[in-house]
Amino acid sequence: MKVVIMAGGKGTRISSVTSDIPKPMIKIEGIPVLEREIKCLKDQGYDDIIMTVSHLGNIIMDYFGDGSGNSPATGKPFGVHIEYYFEKEPLGNAGALFKIKDKLTSDFLLLNADAMFDVDFNRFVAFHRKRGGLVTLFTHPNSHPYDSGLIVADKNGTVEKWLTKEDARPQYYKNRVNAGLHVINPKVLEFSDIDADLIGKNGANGKPVKVDLDRQLLKPLAGTGKMFCYDSPEYVKDMGTPERYYSVCADYKEGRVSGKNLKNKQKAVFLDRDGTINKYVGFLRKIDDFELIDGVAAAIRKINESGYLAIVVTNQPVIARGEVSFDELEEIHNKMETLLGKEDAYLDAIYYCPHHPHKGYEGECPELKIECDCRKPKPGMLLKAAEDYNIDLSQSWMIGDGENDVKAGINAGCKTVLLSEVDENYGQMVTVKSLSSFVNSGMK
């Protein structure tokens, strides 16, 4: 599979870090971030690369050549084949695709050159092929969804809406952000109404016509059933600002970049919802009753920074009892993600059990009144998360405020924490008053 890497950006927001080299050549621990991208790809068998370059592009071309030489930084072979398309006039971040479309005869990876990532591309591509769409977006939660492009999708991952930064967004939303990694079928170039002959030529305003990838090429596919999102907690972070660059440097030094690749075993902190994340009000039926516990967002932010996955596992019998619909529960969870996101925290995944074994409630859903494997204290939700994200349960924690939480953790083989102000013993390893107390103790 070919890989197209867009390496033509000027990097004006990060010019205080470096202004005499293109942004993709900024170094992380002595090696350009673009070289780290190429190594990640090459190690997984993706060695046929086309780079689109413009601003200071000669520096990139001189450094990598055709990919057959050795790295000036490491002395080791690049081990790839590289072609270039040099934009004499800026074409936008997708205009070059129309110029090289004859070289794109099947699905290809399209990546930004200024992002730090370490992801399992084979897993990503397999998902794309299984869905059979024109485009698959790599999506993830991040610590600043309020100023990021948001992707709205159905339960199958079909993209329904694409909300760019300038678009109005709902009051509450799922923290699902486009990470800038894509698998694309070249038919997308035919699907758009962009006149390829005009790209790069002066338009009505006297300036060269450019093509914006997100707004002109991909966003119009939302709602057509032709675009999907691939949710993953793996490490992808752009370095558009000095603050994010220094954050990436710290993450790399601490091993969090490579550690989050799903080829590696992950560690997770499983969190109950009611009484752990939000204030306990009994069966929570109304979205207005959802309120974060003081200090929870800061605690989850520390979990995010630690390298552990933050995953909610919650029993929601109100679904089976007919008291809350699936859509209403989703909106409650959207509120939870929005409130956390406003405080720079995020959840990597949410699992819930909608079942309830006891019958006799007015308005109940008979098909959900069953004995299941996911309702805590059974470990089904934790086991499913472990399968989805390659989690080592023995190195993970289950945290909750009740007996069922502790027993679910024990049944899954996790370490366990009970949040309680009284002396109760359900077999948990640790008892503390709050999530904040546990996280601030170093999760030991």
User: Contact 272/399 with Cβ under 8 angstroms?
Assistant: yes
User: Contact 409/369 with Cβ under 8 angstroms?
Assistant: no
In the annotation, is 274 catalytic?
Answer: yes
> Torsion angle, CA of 15/100/208/136, rounded to 10 degrees?
-70
> What residue ranges in 322-434 does DSSP mark as E strands?
349-353, 397-400, 415-419, 430-432
> Which residue in 118, 272, 348, 405 is the catalytic one?
272
Of the candidates 215, 227, 131, the residue with the CA atom closest to the CA atom of residue 188: 227
> Torsion angle, CA of 436/380/344/308, rounded to 10 degrees?
70
How far does CA 91 lie from the centroid of its chain? Answer: 28
What is the rounded radius of gyration, in angstroms, for the C-alpha atoms of the chain?
Answer: 24
User: Contact 406/416 with Cβ under 8 angstroms?
Assistant: yes
Looking up tokens 């990139």 gives: 60
Of the candidates 426, 415, 419, 172, the residue with the CA atom closest to the CA atom of residue 272: 419
Query: What DSSP assignment string belongs to 114-180?
Result: TEEEE--HHHHHHHHHHHT-SEEEEEE--S-GGGS-EEEE-TT-BEEEEE-TTS---SS----EEEE
Looking up tokens 């080791």 gives: 76
> Which residue in 114, 238, 274, 401 is the catalytic one?
274
Residue 7's φ and ψ, nearest 5 degrees, are: -125, 35
- CA dist 262 and 374 (Å) reads 23
Question: Catalytic site residues?
Answer: 272, 274
